[in-house]
Amino acid sequence: MTEIAAAQADLLRPHAEQAYADELAALAAHDTRPRPPSWKLSPWAVVTYLLGGELDDGTVITPKYVGPRRLIEVAVATLATDRALLLLGVPGTAKTWVSEHLSAAVSGESTLLVQGTSGTPEEAIRYGWNYARLLAEGPTEGALVPSPVMTAMQGGRIARVEELTRIPADVQDALITVLSEKTLPIPELGTEVQAAKGFNLIATANDRDRGVNELSSALRRRFNTVVLPLPANEEDEVAIVARRVEQLGSSLELPEIPATVDEIRRVVTVFRELRSGVTGDGRTTLKSPSGTLSTAEAISVVTNGLALAAHFGDGVLRPSDVAAGILGSVLKDPVADKVVWTEYLEAVVREREDWADFYRACREVTG
């Protein structure tokens, strides 16, 4: 194991460009297609990195995203133009995951990140100051602290803005000049930063969280929007959950316990039925809880179940290991959601003969 690989093995969550460095290097070595300025890979290779494939020498590129190919092609094509990319979707649709991997494939790094919150200041998007030097020297280039966006502009790389709609509207609008004029004025120095070729920006947003600040029409026009959907069918969602649970189990160094497809499928089935408001056979209409019950939450439920089985169980993932996790995901509103969950248990889960153990486990934790 190399020193770099050994160091990464101690990281809880390596960046995409670290975790998949071998795949990125293999794609770069075999990529003979035209590359936009400053891109590490061609658009075709970026899509292959995201969706998976096999190279001529037999190297397997693992899929990072399972979904419509055309959506990823549109996203990558947008980054090759002068339009910024907005990934939109309900929580848990892999917006951040796709954003990170797109940045890693295009620029070779995914760390030029602004995390949007209600307290994000304008300096996080434009620039700030080292106040000790500012007091000693006045406004100078040495006292200026560039934001991730400014750094990306200078280097012709991809900047990322997470949860754009959680940022206050007046701070959001600091991006308008950056995205339309490709320049960032620095009036204190009487100068500006002009974006190098290859610069672009990926933002993520959803409209399901509280505290959402709608984008102004002026800012929205600067983006091409790609809506990432929830997995189209059960098989895709089961595959996504199984793959991510395996990766997380390895990263967390959980004792090796096979997450049986049957248990994963049961969790996915519960989540899909509750969020769609109808059972899989279409015969029973259901009430939906207040939460999103996303794929990301299903991954968390199964991973938590594996930890319970490994440390407090018999080393086999059982219904009792996932029941509490499901309850925590469903009951966001302890009053209304408990009614929804209880009705689902009695009307659906109880009637499925092969779900008897799961029903008893859920009733035990529900009370």
Q: Which amino acid is at 70?
A: R
Verify that 175 and 299 share a domain, yes or no: no
pLDDT digits (tens, 9 = 90+) for 285-297: 999 998 888 899 9
Given a contact cutoff of 8 angstroms between Cβ atoms, the answer to whether 107 and 157 are in contact is yes
Q: Can you name the residues that pair with 223 across neighbouring β-strands?
A: 84
Residues 241 and 339 in one domain: yes
What pTM did the predictor assign? 0.89
Whether 183 and 238 share a structural domain: no
Taking residues 112-124, what's their average pLDDT? 95
Tell me: pLDDT of 282 over 80.
Answer: yes
Domain boundary pick from 207, 227, 247: 227
Is residue 211 assigned to a domain?
yes
pLDDT at 206: 86
Same domain, 253 and 190: no
**323 and 297 in a common domain:** yes
Q: Are residues 207 and 325 in the same domain?
A: no
Question: Domain for residue 172, yes or no?
Answer: yes
Q: How many domains are contained in the chain?
A: 2
CA 210, CA 194: separation in Å to the nearest integer?
A: 35
Provide the pLDDT confidence category of residue 9 given band limits of 50, 70 and 90.
low
Q: Is residue 104 part of a domain?
A: yes
Residue 51 in any domain: the answer is no
* Domain region containing 249: 234-366
Residue 163 shares a structural domain with residue 266:
no
DSSP H helices, the chain, are 3-9, 16-19, 21-30, 43-51, 69-79, 95-107, 131-137, 148-155, 169-172, 175-181, 217-220, 234-252, 261-276, 295-312, 319-330, 336-347, 356-366
Residue type for position 131:
Y
- Give me the pLDDT at residue 232, please: 84
Q: Which residues contact 366 (CB under 8 A, 6 or more apart)?
A: 327, 338, 341, 342, 345
Pair 161, 259 in one domain: no
Helix (H, G, I), strand (E, B) or coil at 155: helix
- Range in 19-28, 145-154, 300-309 the model is least confident about: 300-309
Question: Domain for residue 41, yes or no?
Answer: no
Residue 43 lies in a domain: no
Rounded CA-CA distance 163/167 in Å is: 7
Final residue in a domain of this structure, among 176, 200, 227: 227
Beta-carbon count within 10 A of 141 CB: 10
Torsion of CA 3, 20, 325, 334, to 10 degrees: 110
> What CATH number does residue 87 fall under?
3.40.50.300
In a domain? residue 142? yes
> Distance from first CA to last CA of the chain, Å, rounded?
50
Same domain, 222 and 78: yes
The pLDDT > 70 percentage for the chain reads 96
Same domain for 352 and 300: yes
> Taking residues 69-79, what's their average pLDDT?
97
pLDDT band at 1 (very low <50, low <70, confident <90, very high): very low
Of the three residues 172, 207, 227, the one that is the final residue of a domain is: 227
Residues 287, 185, single domain; the answer is no
d(CA 129, CA 156): 23
Q: Is residue 323 domain-shared with residue 222, that is, in the same domain?
A: no
For 210-261, what is each residue's pLDDT tens digit?
667 888 999 999 999 999 998 888 999 999 998 888 888 888 888 877 667 8
* Closest of 311, 309, 296 to residue 361, by C-alpha: 309
Per the domain annotation, does 3 fall within a domain?
A: no
